Structure 1
Amino acid sequence: MSSAFSTPPWDVQRLPRADASVFLITGGNAGIGYFVAEQLSATGATVLLGSRNPAKAEAAEASIRARVPGARVRTVRLDLADLSSLETTVESVGVEHLDAVVHNAGVALDDPPRKETEDGHELMFGTNHLGHFALTRWLMPLLSAAPAARVVTTGSFAAKSERLDLDDLQSRKDYRPKRTYGRSKLAQMYFGVELDRRLRAAGSTVTSVVVHPGGALDSLTPSRPPVHERTTGARLRTAPAALLVQGKHAGAWPAVRAVLDPTVRGGQLWGPRVFGLRGEPRRERVWNHLADPSFAARLWDTSCDLTGVDPAAVPG
């Protein structure tokens, strides 16, 4: 039988079962992360909602249980801005293996002033990139205990037009909130690509995939009270935008496919089908600036220095 018949087309509305799998979603209490968790819960998997806010995480858990009968979902206290807490957090998750982690959580500041984490790192770079970088190191034994685990890193379409300055990763010289956010997401994407390269070299069974949600707006996102409530006014005002972008429920699709689809391979980039902004998920060519291994290696080494850990140094 040909592969065209043995592998059915991907359907975002009919996901494959994953009953024995365990997935961790960082930032699973809101936005795209919530919808990644909701959709993965419908596959029968055990889904862990990583969140620094217990009340919001509990609300998200209740919302998923209300929409997905029999959902196996629970919360995990996770603060990516506190690097010293991550080892203890992973020790407390209470699972024997992890089939995938979706690095989704992200801080996005709209206005000055520049802020720092407890470790002295610029808040967006320190949380979005360094937090996930360090978390991966502590998760690697659980990922390696699964047959073929995946690290799925959620970047941003905004990162496509950004470039990193290795001499100013903390945005001390050039701090502009939206640009600093885009650069932090670009750093995450470099991490995802370079992680897979290093895992392959080490012969690991773990793979790393990078995704982005395209253009995902709250106003085009279906309501999930109290996690998200869309007003009629907002929906009407932004209805024309639906020709170009989509809601956060659809922004979750590339990450969900990267977790579940057996045809997805490490080192790939996945995003929305239509101009990279909306539609069902498809594989994209890795962006030119992401495909520079020497730059990625330098960023990796700097990240190791800043966090004190190396995610690829753990046997897997």
Structure 2
Amino acid sequence: MSSASPVPPWDVHRPPAAEGRVFLVTGGNAGIGYFTAEQLAATGATVVLGSRSPARAEAAESSIRSRVPGARVRSVRLDLADLSSLPGAVESLGVARLDAVVHNAGVALDHPPRRETADGHELMFGTNHLGHFALTRWLMPLLSAAPAARVVTVGSFAAKSERLDLDDLQSRRGYRPKRGYGRSKLAQMYFGLELDRRLRAAGSTVSSVVVHPGGALDGLAPARPPLHRPTAGARLRAAPAALLVQGKQAGAWPAVRAVLDPAVRGGRLWGPRVLGLRGRPRAEPLWAQLTEYFVAERLWAASRELTGEDPGAVTV
């Protein structure tokens, strides 16, 4: 008989304690990022919210403290659309090490016209992908200082039906906002997987995991005033969809598990259990396009050229 203790099943409502650890959640002031931060704060960890808006970050901090007694939560100003601001944002973290970063922040545009970041990149690709790509470079020394840090990249189910156009990453031809969003999230997912391959090759203790929230609707998420107050009409309209999708608090579960579960390994994809749309988090097979490693390599080279940074080169 084996003397090893059985590993308990993962309980989304009772994640393991994480006192003494420090986690950064980009876009932690709203949506899935907020619920990820709230759930991580309940473990006793220090959670830092990365947000463009100090006012929204303050509201998110207050909300978390009202629901998590003794929560260790604070925020830093983080603008992923301005690459030159990222070194200062990382310095303002004021920590000697970082145990995990959740790359969650994102821009989703519904209508033209095409917009650009301060650096001249298409806004969604520049913020969602290039911003996190460059941020990881500046975070890598802090991540490498932790015993076994994780980079958790939040993709999207909207990316599953997309393919990257490596000759038009900036959507200069035939700009369509929803397609641009899906491609920007797909680029993030390629990045997370390619980062893990490069970290493994370098012998780094840092690992990289990719997750997606499935179908996550505001109308099915619990209220978090003043951040989120779904109206009765919004809840009524969302109710029929609950058979297939879920609220944003449940959409946060794959990211939370990827941060905390010691059984999670780098280079994997995690999402909801039921059709990839709802339910408790599980590891799932890589989507077909994500197995095309040559695309990830070309995207990495293009991202390095566009940002002037290389996250895989800083593994001290």
Question: Considering the TM-score relative to the shorter chain, is it more than 0.5?
Answer: yes
Matched residue, 2:257: 257
Q: State the distance in 1 between where 2:315 and 2:194 align.
A: 17
1:120–1:71: structure 2 CA closer, same or farther, 3 Å change rule? same
Match of 2:163 in 1: 163
Question: 1:286 aligned to 2:265?
Answer: no
Deviation at 1:233, TM superposition (A): 1.8
- 2-structure distance, mates of 1:147, 1:262: 12
Q: Report the equivalent of 1:124.
A: 124
Aligned position for 1:40:
40
- Is 1:114 matched up with 2:117? no
Distance in 1, matches of 2:279 and 2:51, equals: 28
Paired with 1:276 and 1:73, the residues of 2 have a C-alpha distance of 31
Q: CA deviation at 1:308?
A: 0.1
TM-score normalized by the length of structure 2: 0.99
Q: Deviations over 1:61-81 (max 9, x none)?
A: 000000000000001100000
The amino acid of 1:266's aligned partner reads: G
Cα deviation code 1:217-247 (max 9, x no counterpart): 0000100000101112211222111000000
- Aligned residue number for residue 311 of structure 2: 311
CA contact (8 A) 2:23 2:48 kept: yes
CA shift, 1:2, in A, is 5.3
| CA distance in 1: counterparts of 2:151 and 2:315, whole angstroms | 15
Aligned pair count? Answer: 316
Question: Matched residues in 1 for 2:79 and 2:150: separation?
Answer: 21
Q: Which secondary structure state, in structure 1, belongs to the residue aligned with residue 38 of structure 2?
A: helix
> Residue 231 of structure 2 corresponds to which residue in structure 1?
231
- Taking only aligned residues, the RMSD between alpha carbons, in angstroms, comes to 1.1
> SS where residue 194 of structure 1 aligns?
helix
Provide the secondary structure at the position in 2 that maps to 1:276.
coil
Structure 1 residue 3: Cα displacement: 9.3
Deviation for aligned residue 1:4? 8.5
How far off its partner does 1:315 sit?
2.6
Distance 1:218 1:167 in 2: 35
Q: CA deviation at 1:5?
A: 4.4
Answer yes or no: is the 8 Å Cα contact 2:199–2:315 preserved in 1. no
Identical positions, percent: 79
Shift of the alpha carbon at 1:88?
1.1
Segment of structure 1 superposing worse, 3-12 or 216-225: 3-12
Distance 1:274 1:51, change over 3 A: same
DSSP 3-state at the match of 2:160 = helix
1:242 paired to 2:242: yes
Distance 1:252 1:94 in 2: 26
State the AA in 2 paired with 1:114.
R
Provide the C-alpha distance between the structure 1 equivalents of 2:2 and 2:229, rounded to a whole number of angstroms: 46
For residues 194-209 of structure 1, the aligned pairs below 5 Å read 194-209=194-209
- SS of match in other structure, 1:161: coil
Give the equivalent residue in structure 2 for 1:148: 148
CA 1:236–1:292 in structure 2 vs 1: closer, same or farther (change >3 Å)? same
Query: CA separation in 1, counterparts of 2:254 and 2:281?
Result: 5
Cα deviation for residue 51 of structure 1 reads 0.1
| Partner SS for 1:280 | strand
Structure 2: unaligned runs, 5 residues or longer = none
Aligned pairs for 1:1-16 (under 5 A) are: 5-16=5-16
TM-score w.r.t. the length of structure 1 is: 0.99
2:185 alignment partner in structure 1: 185
Unaligned runs of 5+ in 1: none
